[in-house]
Amino acid sequence: MNFVILIAFGLDALFGDPAYIPHPVSMIGKLITKTEKYLRERIPDEVRAGAYLVAIVCSISFFVPLIILAVLHAFNPWVALAVDIFFCFQILAAKSLKTAALRVFDAVSCGKPNEARKALSHIVGRDTKNLDRDGVIKATIETVSENTTDGVVAPLFYMAIGGAPLAFMYKAINTMDSMIGYKNDKYLLFGKCAAKVDDLANFLPARIAALLMIAASAFLSLDPKNAFKIYIRDHKKHASPNSAHTEAACAGALGIQLGGDATYNGVVVHRHTIGNSLRPVQTSDIKRAIQLMYLTSILMLIFSII
């Protein structure tokens, strides 16, 4: 399994998510959409229907790759190994996160605010059309730091425990939360179970990621002492019990302030600030956040292999 994880990580670093290969997240997304429609038509109790959706999607996401790998192993272990590596490679998202953040970086660096906002809109859920330069930079850093857990550390954590099948199940949980884990009229009840399961699945990975990010900041000559200080102080300053952990560590390491109010679908959401504004944000902070994400991921890779 160590060999599989190592090669998969290397493939992701080289190739990311090639557009010509169907991505499992899009397949899981279609499964969620169709299952939601089916359950809503048949089960009036939204909480129960949402719980059934979680059970169905998690089961399919776990057992389908498990059965595929088992059948292939029975015929040809080498083919099974190759497919296992391919599965794990598809689950990781470090390169795609880096590429998306660099699109924002390039647009801001070239003085193209509209392009920067458009590029940012592909990786955040908030409204971006009225963000100024600093707002765009901060939002990019926030999504890079937060997705260090969802996109890399947590998948590696579950790969180390249960291989590709368990990592696929984690990815399904994470995708369900991003699609139906909202506190609005449509999903407050239906998405309740998905949101709670996602909180549980990310509980350990988020805390591991934050501690590894603090360690990574020392290797990058940032500020590990301040990273630890801000992490201890601000890791609970988020509606999610997990999201602020890496965000706080990143803000402290960079010496900047993140968080604050944000607009979603035209509605202003009041949020705590995270970190201290020891200096103004800079465009280069996006690259520093990417470096933090990658080194944190490498440390998690080593931790997973061990």
pLDDT tens sequence across 233-247: 999 998 889 989 999
Supply the DSSP string of 185-213, one letter for each residue: TTTTTTTHHHHHHHHHHHHHHHHHHHHHH
The per-residue pLDDT for 142 is 96
pLDDT at 125 over 90: no
Average pLDDT value over all residues in the chain: 94
Average pLDDT, integer, range 284-303: 96
- In the 8-state DSSP scheme, what is residue 161? H
Sequence spans of domains, the chain? 2-305
Query: Do residues 275 and 257 make contact, with C-beta atoms less than 8 angstroms apart?
Result: yes
Q: Are 17 and 23 in contact (CB under 8 A)?
A: yes
Q: What is the pLDDT of residue 262?
A: 85
Q: Which helix (H) or strand (E) holds 67?
A: helix 46-75
Mean pLDDT of 187-198: 95
> Coil, strand, or helix at residue 281?
coil
pTM: 0.94
Q: Is the pLDDT of residue 20 over 80?
A: no
Token reading at 22:
């169907």
Average pLDDT, stretch 186-198?
94
Average pLDDT, integer, range 180-208? 93
pLDDT (0 to 100) of residue 18: 77
Per-residue pLDDT of 41-86, as tens digits, reads 999 999 999 999 999 999 999 999 999 999 999 999 999 999 999 9
Residues 203 and 200: their CA atoms lie apart, in Å, by 5
34: confidence class by pLDDT, cuts 50, 70, 90: very high
Least confident of 16-25, 85-94, 98-107: 16-25
Q: Residue 1 — pLDDT band, cuts 50, 70, 90? A: low
Q: How far apart are CA 38 and CA 13, in angstroms?
A: 38
Instruction: With beta carbons less than 8 A apart as the criterion, state whether 293 and 218 touch.
Output: no
Please say if the pLDDT value at position 182 is more than 90: no
